[in-house]
Structure 1
Amino acid sequence: MTKERLIPLIVAAALFMENMDATVIATSLPAIAADIGTSPLTLKLAITSYLLSLAVFIPASGWTADRFGARAVFSIAIGVFMVGSIGCALSSSLSDFVIARILQGVGGAMMTPVGRLVLLRSIDKSALVGAMAWMTIPALVGPVIGPPLGGFITTYFSWHWIFLINIPIGLVGIFMAQRYIDPIRSDHPERFDLVGLVLAGVGLAGIAFGLSVAGLNLLPWPVVAGLIGVGCVSMTLYVFHARRTASPVLDFTLLRLATLRASIIGGFLFRLGIGALPFLLPLLMQIGFGLSPFQSGLVTFASSAGAMGMKALAARIIKTFGFRNIMTVNAVVSAVFLAACALFTQATPLLLIMIILLVGGFFRSLQFTAINTVAYAEVETAQMSRATTLVSVNQQLSISAGVAVGALCVESTMAWRHMTTITADDFAPAFVVVSILSALSAYFFWQMPDDAGHEISGRKAIEISSRKGAEKAAAKTAVKTGSEATEDARDQRLG
């Protein structure tokens, strides 16, 4: 097997474990909440705390991989994720579950970005789109089998067992990493920005956690406002600190690159909307429509199956139409399918729901492939560690924000309707809001240059070939025109 396929598949083992874990939890959320004595909306802290832990610790991933070697960091990260999974399975309270999820987040914070860094440093840019597709195809198997598998285990056994699935997967990932990944490290690692890590960590934690608990009545409003305020102040201090630091943990100067800037800002908005879907949809299916976790998982399966179908075509589509055109149009199309979820009622046939989710997953998968790939189109090799760190933090924080926005919309609808119990009608406004946010990303993708990412998509070669063809055609036309003029002159002389 070639390097362009082997390395993406190794990285995909970690993504498989992480993605399946996330979808399993979303499907089993109501059952877990009932067992540990809390509400499903309150248990969103378990999702938010995991994503928050990722956002806080990801900034250290690039430097850690450069300093200690990607293989060692990748393997240890998988081990930490496995320990956190065991902790989740043994949890008997909300606090236990949240702590275990935070530990999982520490492992995931190193596992995914370091794996992506290995891919970027091992694969030529011209083969990057194909490599990204190979990496994400196995990773998408997790979301495909996660919902029905998690629903089946939760319905017929116990939700505790869904986390133990990660153990054999993690062991396979560690084995593959030790055998096939080179211990890639930088010969001259940069100085670690500890002050920046603390400031950014406190800032991200305060803002994300404050937003996630707002409206849940878990903490007094002054405390919530204080968390958000401290987070904003800390991030402001970090921005000033980063300007005076040669090697900041979050290098915002990379945003000068047009493709990376579009991937960060546009990608944040797109993921913010789409990130709410795995949280809202299972709750709608189970609490709103009364489906079992297994039935809900089978419905959610359609969205992931659609994503799987796109991966084989993504590289060809992007090569044909270009990053800017595809990402601009597809952002709106994906948002429309997300908004369609607001029309789901108990009378809507499940087959129709699954078809809408299937087609929507097809377009969302194309968008994610394009966003994840074009981000590195202009990034130099020496900047890859900083770029992967910035992209990973943005990605996780946007998904965390999506969960928070989705839950806040549901809570706000309940308060407006003076309801104390969640019903199916409480979800429609949330789907509309997050779909609008996703659609707004199209503006930032349109701001990219016409030739954005042509080197990595292969479209540049098409344009060169087309240009040469046009030049040859023009030359033939010129010769033909000259010949016709000569013949006309001859006819005139003969006349």
Structure 2
Amino acid sequence: MTAESPSITPVEPKLPDPRLMAAIVASALFMQNLDGTVVATALPAMSRSLGEDPLVMGVAITSYLVALTVFIPLSGWVADRFGAKQVFLVAIGTFTLASALCGMAGGLAEMVAARVLQGLGGAMMVPVGRLLLLRRVRREELLSVTTWLTMPALIGPLLGPPLGGLLTDLISWRAVFWINVPVGMIGMVLVWRIIPPLPASLPPPPDIRGLALTGAALACTMFAFETLGRGLVPAHLAEGGVLAAIVLTVWAIRHCLKTPHPALDFRLLAIPSFRVPNIAGTVFRVGAGATPFLIPLTLQLGFGASAAESGLISFASALGAFAMKPMAKFALRRFGFRNVLIWNAVLAALCIALCGAFRPGWPMAAIFTVLLISGLCRSLQFTAMNTLAYADVPQEKLSAATSLYSTAQQLPQALGVAVASAVLQISVALAGREGVALPDFTAGFLVAAALAMVAGPLAAGLPRDAGEGIVSGGGARKR
């Protein structure tokens, strides 16, 4: 450029509306949430088709969730190294392919293998999609973007139970997996055309030892929950799994605390607004994660309802969750994050416990109402935790924060299914019955409610002004 030439200031391209980007990224959450609810509804039919016990078929859910949890810690590093948009596209493609393979499975082993591949795709899909948004929004936009991100995703569980029941009764349980294929293809096109890329960087080498330790600890934890006291493997193997899980978990935490760039950065838990959604949220999600597994089984095995009837009733929880999203901002502004997380956890736990009282003599309208209120409470709790978690995390720590928080979101869902399934089998064994009955489901709901209730006191550790500025629109994200 010559001295006479005017200087030209480069103009950054205008970014799409954050709400539009959130809605597109939510296509990934839509698939994941749709998948979870339709599989639970189709589980009895799957067990009959594949010749497996319905309680053992719970592994079709937990194998996916375990794979999801094991691979999530790597997602932040992969996104930084290869570019979040590129990784997000590959993840959606992997999830879509695995869904098609699930629909073609001819036995439990094939189903588990396909679900593990699906978990690998999901592990990169959801946290990386969230990272694409978090690096584009300001602090005061967090609640709005979180709402737009989760509302389309809630359509999945809203449609999941009735759609899963109808597809299972009218076509086959295999159709509940095939439905992800067109959704995934549309999502990939929208991401490719509209979402702007984030530049790749050269992050430090991945913490291979930390990834191995955390993965082994998570796998042993799930093995212990799936087998302890259930007679699926010799007792000494189940007990060895418990011991291995404890040792590996302590080892992994100690390693991650000493490593400059760990697989999971537990040092972020020093931030109160990040610590409480992780710790209290983990306990709450175990209890909440048991209910989508227990409700369809209660209605189909306990009440004798068909898959379609079960789906039409149990979708009330998702309807309540969807309805809460527009009201969440008012509730958080009126009562504050701390009060909502304490008292709403108690109310949600009471709703879960009330599900244990369901009997065939109950009017379906009453069951629907309980599930609707339960969905409202769970949705408000999740919205508050998901919004608060990233409010005070510095930009340079967002990749690490998404990896840790996504792990804390996904592991409890697998634990919830495993705990519920274990409680059912233990209750059956203690009663000397050959099959599951309504009192066994009551025990499962009560255990789930007790776990969700613990989240209330844990949330009391939040400062009273936690989240200030998020719902009122003030402040800026820490840099």
Q: Same fold (TM over 0.5)?
A: yes
Per-residue CA shift, 1:168-202, capped at 9, x if unaligned? 00001111111122221454423211111111111
Written as runs of structure 1 = structure 2, the 5 A alignment for 1:139-158 is: 139-158=153-172
Return the structure number with greater helix share.
1
> How far does residue 146 in structure 1 lie from its aligned partner after superposition?
0.9
Structure 2 match to 1:196:
210
Counterpart CA distance in 1 for 2:334 and 2:216 is: 44
Counterpart of 1:419, as a letter, is R
Structure 1 match to 2:287:
273
> How far does residue 270 in structure 1 lie from its aligned partner after superposition?
0.7
Written as runs of structure 1 = structure 2, the 5 A alignment for 1:171-320 is: 171-320=185-334
Structure 2 match to 1:365:
379
Counterpart CA distance in 1 for 2:247 and 2:460 is: 32
Structure 2 match to 1:89:
103
Counterpart CA distance in 1 for 2:353 and 2:80 is: 42
Determine if the alignment matches structure 1 residue 32 to structure 2 residue 42.
no
Structure 2 match to 1:491:
none
> Quick one: which of 106, 113, 136 aligns to 2:150?
136
**Kept after mapping to 2: 8 A contact 1:207/1:229:** no
Determine if the alignment matches structure 1 residue 407 to structure 2 residue 386.
no
Structure 2 match to 1:16:
30
**Kept after mapping to 2: 8 A contact 1:377/1:455:** no
4+ residue segments displaced more than 4 Å: none
Per-residue CA shift, 1:382-419, capped at 9, x if unaligned? 01111111111111111111111111111121112111
> Quick one: which of 49, 53, 70 aligns to 1:56?
70
> Quick one: which of 447, 451, 458 aligns to 1:437?
451
For the pair shown, the structure with the greater C-alpha radius of gyration is: 1
Counterpart CA distance in 2 for 1:187 and 1:430 is: 47
Counterpart CA distance in 1 for 2:213 and 2:88 is: 25
**Kept after mapping to 1: 8 A contact 2:141/2:473:** no
Alignment size in residue pairs: 461
Determine if the alignment matches structure 1 residue 347 to structure 2 residue 361.
yes
Counterpart CA distance in 2 for 1:314 and 1:44 is: 33
Counterpart CA distance in 1 for 2:370 and 2:248 is: 42
Counterpart CA distance in 1 for 2:265 and 2:332 is: 28
**Kept after mapping to 1: 8 A contact 2:140/2:474:** no
Counterpart CA distance in 2 for 1:185 and 1:114 is: 13
CA 1:451–1:459: 2 relative to 1, 3 Å = farther
**Kept after mapping to 2: 8 A contact 1:341/1:428:** yes
Q: Give the TM-score of the pair, scaled to structure 1.
A: 0.91
> How far does residue 287 in structure 1 lie from its aligned partner after superposition?
0.3
Counterpart of 1:13, as a letter, is S
Per-residue CA shift, 1:334-388, capped at 9, x if unaligned? 1111111011001011111001111211121111100111111211000111111
> Quick one: which of 398, 403, 412 aligns to 1:384?
398
**Kept after mapping to 2: 8 A contact 1:306/1:361:** yes
Counterpart CA distance in 2 for 1:312 and 1:42 is: 38
Counterpart CA distance in 2 for 1:4 and 1:121 is: 11
Structure 2 match to 1:484:
none
> How far does residue 437 in structure 1 lie from its aligned partner after superposition?
1.0
Per-residue CA shift, 1:52-74, capped at 9, x if unaligned? 00110000000000010111100
Structure 2 match to 1:477:
none
> How far does residue 460 in structure 1 lie from its aligned partner after superposition?
6.5
> How far does residue 274 in structure 1 lie from its aligned partner after superposition?
0.5
> How far does residue 313 in structure 1 lie from its aligned partner after superposition?
1.2
Structure 2 match to 1:43:
57
Counterpart of 1:24, as a letter, is V
> How far does residue 2 in structure 1 lie from its aligned partner after superposition?
5.6
Determine if the alignment matches structure 1 residue 453 to structure 2 residue 467.
yes
Decide which moves more: 295-304 or 416-425. Answer: 416-425
**Kept after mapping to 1: 8 A contact 2:296/2:310:** yes
Counterpart of 2:166, as a letter, is F
Counterpart CA distance in 1 for 2:159 and 2:257 is: 45
> How far does residue 459 in structure 1 lie from its aligned partner after superposition?
7.5
Counterpart CA distance in 1 for 2:167 and 2:230 is: 29
Counterpart of 1:207, as a letter, is T
Structure 2 unmatched runs, 5+: 1-14
**Kept after mapping to 2: 8 A contact 1:45/1:213:** no
**Kept after mapping to 1: 8 A contact 2:87/2:124:** yes
Counterpart CA distance in 1 for 2:371 and 2:177 is: 26
Per-residue CA shift, 1:75-108, capped at 9, x if unaligned? 1001111121111111111111111111100000
> Quick one: which of 80, 101, 108 aligns to 1:66?
80
SS of 2:446 mapped into structure 1: helix
Decide which moves more: 440-449 or 184-193. Answer: 184-193
Determine if the alignment matches structure 1 residue 326 to structure 2 residue 336.
no
Counterpart CA distance in 2 for 1:330 and 1:242 is: 33
**Kept after mapping to 2: 8 A contact 1:144/1:305:** yes
What value does the CA root-mean-square deviation take over the aligned residues? 1.4
